[in-house]
Amino acid sequence: MVRPPTQATQVQNPLNSWQLIIINVGFVGVHVVWGLQMANGSAIFESLGAKAQQIPLLWLAAPVTGLIVQPLVGYWSDRTCSPLGKRRPYFLAGALFGCVTLAALPLARGLTMAVLLLWLLNLWVNVAMTPFRSYVVDVVPLPQQTTAYTWQSCAHGLGAFTASAMPWGVVHLWRQHPFSLLGNFPASIECSLWLGSALFLGALLLTVTQSPRPLQNNATSPEAGIDPAPFSISTALRHCPPLLKQLSWVQGLSWISMFCLFLYFPPAVARDIFGAHFEISDLYAQGIEWTGLCFALLNLTCMAVSLGLPHLARRIDLPTLHGACLLVGALSLGSLHWVSDRYLLLGPMVGLGVAWASMLSMPYAMLARVLPPELNGLYMGLFNCSITLPQIFVSLGLGQLVQTWVGGDRMAIVALGGIAMLISALLSFPIGSKKF
């Protein structure tokens, strides 16, 4: 059986604000990459010739690689012993190889090459990202862990905000469209990918070289309370904490909603709000740039809300707080169906930022209190399957839905995603407050 968490494996000395920032600065770089992909992936695919019904299938790279890589990296990192500790070797490997892959993406000569590069990119970004949740447990004292996870949510928001604003910033800071090397997709996206690769590498190197280290390397050993040889992923599933199962449904349904947003909101804005009919056109580029600003506002809101969540968490139990945030997000998604003006898109983005901040922090803060530290990486990796499996489900089934049910109406799909988030909010409230 798996032991419950014990204070013996926790670092006891409180960390200062600078140390918490350094721990999470690499997460900023990770989410610069994710933000660039989420905000611009569909536009890249359409610019290279993909049809609307093909978009979900082309997005399979992120969830499939996450489904495979995250449990394995979590399992291996629990057992890694190196001069860099348990988690940092994965930060470093993901940063180096991911940087090269992202820098190569603008050079893709067609849809097939772009898809292959995105598969590689998602593999290495998952390698770099997966240990971050467990790294908090390794180096942050238990009383500070909720704060650390909300700061991690803030780091996510900062990275995604930076990525979302990049295409608009590249154009307006240059005061004209910069030179496009190949012209396969908008030049603003091309330059943003190169800038993003540099930020990704630099942020992760800062975390690897400067963040505080645990007092001891708690790689799994017979003394850690489990026998490492027979303890496998299947064994972990059999002994899975009940809270992890409950939160997996909540997280999975809310991610279905957000994945619909990431897939179809950018081309929906370009076509339905800006009236673009062709992918290579000024109107389409303007629509994608405006989408970037919308996502930037979403992530700016996420950052602001993340700073306030620790204070609310001291007054409201975490499941209720999480459910309330998801309810705000569900209403915001549903409202998008009736928006026809670009400026009116900004209101729902604020509401989605509230839900996004909670999704990125509250479930992990709850789990950190019940997971055994010696298996934290494995269980966090398994929990992240509640993010990747819904994305695979959406990718495989959404293309047919777009084609047959809504007649290619991309914004309708985004708004319908609000139903899944509403259900996830209702599932969060009954989890209870006894442990939180």
| Domains within the chain, CATH numbers bracketed | 16-212+236-431 (1.20.1250.20)
Structure token pair of residue 255: 């991610």
Tokens of 69: 């890589």
Q: What is the DSSP letter of 86?
A: T
Instruction: Output DSSP code: residue 218.
Output: -
Q: Are 130 and 70 in contact (CB under 8 A)?
A: yes
CB-count burial class (<10 Å; 0-12, 13-18, 19+) for 340: exposed
Q: What confidence score (pLDDT) does residue 226 get?
A: 39
- Both structure tokens of 256: 């279905």
Per-residue tens of pLDDT for the chain, all 436 residues: 334 444 434 446 788 888 888 999 999 999 999 888 877 787 778 777 777 677 777 878 888 888 888 888 888 888 888 888 888 999 999 999 999 999 998 888 788 888 899 999 999 999 999 888 888 888 888 788 888 888 888 888 899 888 878 877 777 776 555 555 556 667 778 888 999 999 999 999 999 998 877 645 444 443 434 344 345 667 777 778 889 989 999 999 999 999 889 888 888 888 888 887 666 677 887 887 888 889 889 989 998 998 889 889 888 899 999 999 999 999 999 999 888 888 999 999 999 999 999 998 899 889 888 888 777 788 888 888 888 888 888 778 766 666 666 666 778 788 888 999 999 999 999 886 555 5
Burial of 219 (0-12, 13-18, 19+ CB in 10 A): middle
pLDDT score of 95: 95
Q: What is the pLDDT of residue 324?
A: 96
CA pair distance 373, 9, nearest whole angstrom: 7
Calculate the CA 270 to chain-centre distance. Answer: 24
Rounded to whole angstroms, the Cα distance separating 201 from 211 reads 15
DSSP states along 352-393? HHHHHHHHTTHHHHHHHTTS-GGGHHHHHHHHTHHHHHHHHH
Residue with tokens 């509250």: 362
Contact status, residue 327 vs residue 368, Cβ threshold 8 Å: no
Rounded distance between C-alpha atoms, residue 169 and residue 424, angstroms: 35
Residue-wise pLDDT for 3-52, tens only, equals: 444 443 444 678 888 888 899 999 999 999 988 887 778 777 877 777 76
Please choose, from the candidates 373, 303, 308, the residue with its C-alpha nearest in 3D space to the C-alpha of residue 142. 373
Nearest C-alpha neighbor of 100 from the set 204, 203, 208, 200: 200
How far apart CA 402 and CA 305 sit, in angstroms, is 33
